[in-house]
Amino acid sequence: MGYSARRGFTNGKASGAQRQAEMQQKIQQMQAQMNTAQEAVEATTFNASVGGGVVEAKVNGKKEVLSIAIKPEAVDPEDVEMLQDLVVSAVNEALRQAGEAMDKSLEGVTGGLDLGAFGL
To 10 degrees, what angle do helices 80-110 and 16-42 make? 150
Cβ count within 10 A of residue 61: 20
- Secondary element (H or E) of residue 56: strand 55-60
Domain 15-111 has CATH 3.30.1310.10: yes
- pLDDT tens per residue, range 42-64: 999 999 999 999 999 999 999 99
Annotated domain spans of the chain: 15-111
Q: Could you tell me how many residues make up the chain? A: 120
Q: What is the pLDDT of residues 67-84, one digit of tens each?
A: 999 999 999 999 999 999
Question: Which pLDDT score, from 0 to 100, does residue 116 have?
Answer: 60
Q: Is the pLDDT of residue 105 over 60?
A: yes
Q: Percentages helix, strand, coil for the chain, rounded to the nearest 5?
A: 55, 20, 25
